[in-house]
Amino acid sequence: MYLIPTPDFLSGAFEPSENNITWLSLLTAALIAPVLKEIIFRGVILKGLLCQYNPAKAIVVSSLIFGFVHLNPWQFLGAFGIGIISGWIYWRTNNLLLPIVMHISNNLFFSLFGKYFGTSYLIDTPMQQVFGNQLNQSIAVGLSILLFAVIWYILSRRMRYQELRNTSHNIA
């Protein structure tokens, strides 16, 4: 079972750079690019769309643009998903720091993983081979869902607390 199988003619395109990751390319991919992309996509595009449209529409449109800008159908779904989550976090907090940290973490993980295991491992390896067996796959999916739920809960509580504080300040 592949997440998204890569055609043979494209799988080699990811190989040349994976063993040549330098500190400069790591700095660019894992730090500079995420900061600039978040400033552009959340700080400019999403912020502008929020002035014109409701939050759901603005977040989806900015996330679609974010996905398409990656110019790779195999990265589109991940980029779109991260765009939705980052957009929602930005909209709720009006703060770019959390989306920037999330984007840096994502890029750093995949850059280092690609350096040490090869980018084709992430793209072309069946989930069965990555996790070993059905139980390990289920555990990985379950832990991912649990981690997402915990982060969602913490963010929701923190934002609800901030809203209550802002409301009480406005009343006083």
Q: Which contacts qualify for 3-10: CB closer than 8 Å, 24 or more apart? A: 3/127, 4/73, 4/74, 4/77, 4/123, 5/124, 6/74, 6/123, 6/124
* Average pLDDT estimate for 138-158: 75
Q: Which pLDDT band holds residue 139 (cuts at 50, 70, 90)?
A: confident
* Average pLDDT estimate for 151-172: 67
* Average pLDDT estimate for 148-169: 70
Q: Which pLDDT band holds residue 2 (cuts at 50, 70, 90)?
A: very low
pLDDT one-digit tens code per residue, 40-92: 999 999 999 999 999 999 999 999 999 999 877 777 888 899 999 999 999 98
Q: Is the model's pLDDT at 22 over the cut of 80?
A: no
